[in-house]
């Protein structure tokens, strides 16, 4: 049975300093994937050698609405930024738009050399705005899923002050995906922003760690990154004994459940170039139809992540007992 423990910090309330409405979304614009148009996405802005950005990160490189910096084992210069961005897409789904990161072995990057494949560990540092609230309760929500070759090391998330001091970490390193994970994994945490000290505490820095070798032959979905000011209600907690993840990226009941409750395996996403087939049964068949019912393409599933190139248009994708309408 799964034994994942989610980490939570204690909230410090200073009611007279509140300037945000209850449950106000304060997520940086570049991390609001649901608001982005489907297609290629220039997600990462800069790179820095080593495990972390230059500390403190140069203020002239910080954007007003946040920025993203790539670091890691084989990240030496801006070449790494171009390589990672080439595989970044905003994709649509029946649950809304989300970020897809495709690594070496994908259509965009079919056979990168060892020097360019970012085969070592990679850290994606997602900075908030420079005016991110300090004396206000903030709830963090993150949902991700990994498709592809078996995971052999943990993907992790943490939140730091941008200067990187170990003592100023409102969310200590937390596992988001492991070898035993098969579903969408949500992370919730109430952050103690007031506990961050020093002149380099804001903006915050979300550090998403991709373990070494885990950008090859895998697809990483980030369905949600959200910061909520003055959250109402209790912070969601999950029983580490009984909770085994979400079947859908928003935690809702998946479509395609038959009369006895059996759900077809896998899901479909798409952008303006491809229909993506995810986690479908090997050797199963996916049929793609035009809206008038004409069969356009039949795909035999040979991998856990498949990219099906398509012309722009509207289609019906049928697989097992599920049907998805997609518009490229």
Query: SS3 of 203, please?
Result: coil
Cβ contacts of 80-84, under 8 Å, gap ≥ 24: 80/47, 80/118, 81/44, 81/45, 81/46, 81/47, 83/109, 83/112, 83/116, 83/117, 83/118, 84/43, 84/44, 84/118, 84/122
Please check whether residue 313 is in contact with residue 290, taking contact to mean a CB–CB distance below 8 angstroms: yes
Q: List the alpha helices (DSSP H) in the chain.
A: 78-86
DSSP letter (8 states) at residue 296: E
Query: What does the alpha-carbon distance between residue 271 and residue 266 come to, in Å, rounded to a whole number?
Result: 17
Q: Structural domain boundaries of the chain?
A: 22-227, 264-325
Q: What is the pLDDT of residues 18-48, one digit of tens each?
A: 489 999 999 999 999 999 999 999 999 999 8
Query: What does the alpha-carbon distance between residue 96 and residue 184 come to, in Å, rounded to a whole number?
Result: 14
Please check whether residue 328 is in contact with residue 311, taking contact to mean a CB–CB distance below 8 angstroms: yes
pLDDT in 10s for each residue of the chain, 328 residues: 344 444 433 333 333 344 899 999 999 999 999 999 999 999 999 998 888 888 778 888 888 888 999 998 888 888 889 989 999 999 999 999 999 999 888 888 888 877 778 888 999 999 998 888 888 999 999 999 999 988 999 999 999 988 877 778 899 999 999 999 999 999 999 998 887 878 788 899 999 999 998 988 899 999 999 999 999 999 999 988 899 999 999 998 776 544 334 456 799 999 999 999 999 999 999 999 999 999 999 999 999 999 999 999 999 999 988 899 999 9
Q: Which residue has the tokens 């979304």?
A: 25
Residues 6+ apart with CB under 8 A from 12: 137, 192, 194, 195
Residue 259 exposed, middle or buried by CB count within 10 Å (0-12, 13-18, 19+) = exposed
Whole-number pLDDT of residue 17: 47
Cis peptide before 274 (omega within 30 of 0): no
CB atoms within 10 A of CB 140: 25
Query: What does the alpha-carbon distance between residue 37 and residue 184 come to, in Å, rounded to a whole number?
Result: 22
The CATH number of the domain covering residues in 22-227: 2.60.120
The CATH number of the domain covering residues in 264-325: 2.60.40
Cis peptide before 171 (omega within 30 of 0): no
């Amino acid at each position: 049975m799964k034994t994942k423990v989610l980490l939570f910090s204690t909230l410090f309330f200073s009611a007279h300093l509140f300037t945000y409405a209850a449950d106000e979304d304060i997520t940086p614009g570049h991390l609001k994937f649901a608001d982005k148009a489907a297609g290629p996405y220039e997600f990462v802005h800069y790179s820095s050698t080593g495990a972390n950005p230059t500390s403190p990160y140069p203020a002239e490189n910080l954007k007003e609405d946040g920025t993203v910096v790539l670091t890691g084992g084989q990240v030496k210069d801006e070449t790494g930024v171009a390589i990672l961005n080439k595989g970044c897409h905003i994709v649509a789904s029946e649950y809304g738009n989300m970020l897809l990161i495709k690594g070496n072995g994908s259509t965009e990057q079919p056979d990168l050399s060892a020097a360019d494949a970012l085969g070592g560990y990679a850290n994606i540092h997602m900075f908030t705005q420079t005016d991110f609230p300090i004396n206000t309760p903030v709830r963090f929500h993150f949902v991700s899923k990994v498709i592809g070759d078996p995971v052999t090391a943990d993907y992790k998330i943490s939140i730091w002050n941008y200067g990187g001091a170990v003592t100023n970490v409102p969310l200590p390193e937390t596992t988001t995906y492991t070898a035993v994970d098969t579903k969408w994994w949500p992370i919730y945490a109430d952050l103690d922003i007031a506990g961050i000290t020093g002149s380099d505490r804001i903006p915050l820095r979300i550090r998403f760690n991709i373990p070494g070798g885990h950008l090859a032959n895998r697809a990483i979905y980030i369905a949600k990154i959200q910061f909520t000011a003055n959250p109402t209600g209790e912070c969601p907690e999950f029983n580490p004994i009984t909770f085994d993840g979400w079947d859908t990226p928003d935690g809702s009941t998946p479509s395609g459940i038959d009369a006895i409750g059996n759900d077809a395996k896998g899901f479909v996403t798409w952008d303006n170039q491809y229909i993506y087939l995810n986690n479908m049964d090997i050797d199963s068949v996916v049929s793609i139809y035009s809206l008038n019912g004409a069969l356009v393409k039949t795909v035999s599933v040979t991998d856990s992540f498949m990219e099906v190139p398509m012309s722009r248009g509207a289609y019906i994708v049928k697989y097992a007992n599920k049907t998805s309408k997609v518009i490229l």
